[in-house]
Amino acid sequence: MVDLVVEAPRLRPLMFSIAYRMLGSVSEAEDVVQTGLLRMHERVQNGDPIDRADAFASTVATRLSIDVLRSARRTREMYVGPWLPEPLLVDDADPAHRIEHDETMSFAVLALLERLGPVERAVFVLHEALGYDYREISEIVDRDQAACRQIMHRAKQRLTAGGARFQVDASEAARLAGAFLKALREGDVDGVMRLLAADVVMTADGGGKAPAIQQPMSGDLAVARFLVGLMRRGEALGVEVEPTIANGEQTLLFRGRDGALLSVLALHVEDGAVRSVANQLNPEKLVHLGPVGDLFALLRDGVAGVS
């Protein structure tokens, strides 16, 4: 029988890993973990023992996440502008957040998962990220194995059609990110452009709560000019850049003079070039990382200071 006092610290990262990948939200994933552990505790207290803690925790986390996705469907459909996940830093201090940062954690893949239905998303995460076999998955999502195989096949087709790739060279990505930041700091549009794929796409998520482009921007020249322009304006306002890793990808944190976080910009690298750029600016999606700055106010004060 499972002793939840002993097992909870080990089960939290497993449950969070499932919920975060399915929801793309740190806060919602944390709620799933708390609710799931409470349900497990209540079951044990009611005299119904849990023999396989990992299997039960995975099932609870998956089913709760499916419920969240179904109830939040209307909210996500009405979201202002492009949707990007909440960033998860590799050096996050919360033990429950210290999960494997692989390709299924990338901004690009998590954003594409929004194209999938709740059960499709669950099957993909359980199989592709956690390595569960179809027998285990069928028990968790309450579908037969043949149906799970078909769901997985359909999910991968839809993700591949959307441009998802699951193989990233970490050393190559680190080298490119270093060169990218150097070119940005030097204001070198050509230098930035050489590091971008010709069909690079930049997406920004302000959620209506921070200034951000409302539609994805494409093309190496357009994205290079835009990013260099942002960097120049940021430097004039005292914005500092800090390289790190988030969601398994090379990432730049932009902070104001007071250290408050303004945005998290992730670089998705494939085949020797930056294939996509994801800029998370929505303050509600950054608050779990610490103090968040008011980008609207910063820009307004900067304009007032010039006039």
Tens-place pLDDT, residues 70-89:
988 767 778 889 999 999 99
306 pLDDT tier (thresholds 50, 70, 90) = very low
| Residue 303 scores a pLDDT above 60 | no
Say how many Å lie between the first and final Cα of the chain, rounded: 70
Lowest mean pLDDT among 46-50, 51-55, 162-166: 162-166
5 pLDDT tier (thresholds 50, 70, 90) = low
What's the pLDDT tens digit per position in 120-169?
Answer: 999 999 999 999 999 999 999 999 999 999 999 998 888 877 665 656 67
Contacts with 307 (C-beta within 8 Å, 6 or more apart), sequence order? none
At residue 3, the pLDDT reads 67
Residue 164, amino acid: A
Euclidean distance between CA atoms 121 and 109, whole angstroms? 11
Lowest mean pLDDT among 165-174, 189-198, 211-220: 165-174
At residue 258, the pLDDT reads 94
φ/ψ region of 148 (left if φ > 0, alpha if ψ in -120 to 50, else beta) reads alpha
What distances in angstroms separate CA 256 from CA 81, 105, 264, one per listed residue? Answer: 24, 27, 12
305 pLDDT tier (thresholds 50, 70, 90) = very low
Q: Give the DSSP letter of residue 87.
A: P
- Reference 125, options 102, 96, 97; nearest CA is 102
| Residue 1 scores a pLDDT above 80 | no
Q: What residues are paired with 249 via a beta bridge?
A: 246
**Which two tokens mark 70?**
């179904």
Residue the block writes with tokens 């099957």: 123
Residue the block writes with tokens 């994801």: 278
Say what percent of the chain tops pLDDT 70: 93
**What's the mean pLDDT when you consider all of the chain?**
90
Burial of 91 (0-12, 13-18, 19+ CB in 10 A): exposed
| Residue 58 scores a pLDDT above 90 | yes
Contacts with 122 (C-beta within 8 Å, 6 or more apart), sequence order? 22, 62, 65, 66, 137, 140, 141
Residue 10, amino acid: R
Q: For residue 205, how far is the Cα from the chain centroid?
A: 12
- Average of per-residue pLDDT across 52-63: 93
At residue 304, the pLDDT reads 47
Let me know: does 167 contact 103? Beta carbons within 8 Å.
Answer: yes
Let me know: does 119 contact 22? Beta carbons within 8 Å.
Answer: no
What's the pLDDT tens digit per position in 176-196?
Answer: 999 999 999 999 999 999 999
Query: Which strands, in side-by-side order, build the sheet including 261-270?
Result: 217-218, 196-205, 273-280, 261-270, 249-255, 240-246
At residue 198, the pLDDT reads 96
Q: What residues are paired with 270 via a beta bridge?
A: 273
Residue the block writes with tokens 């390709």: 103
Report helix, strand or coil for 107: helix
**Which two tokens mark 245?**
């890793």
What distances in angstroms separate CA 211 from CA 3, 24, 78, 84, one per listed residue? Answer: 48, 21, 18, 15
Euclidean distance between CA atoms 176 and 172, whole angstroms? 6
What's the pLDDT tens digit per position in 271-298?
Answer: 899 999 999 999 999 999 999 999 999 9
At residue 214, the pLDDT reads 92
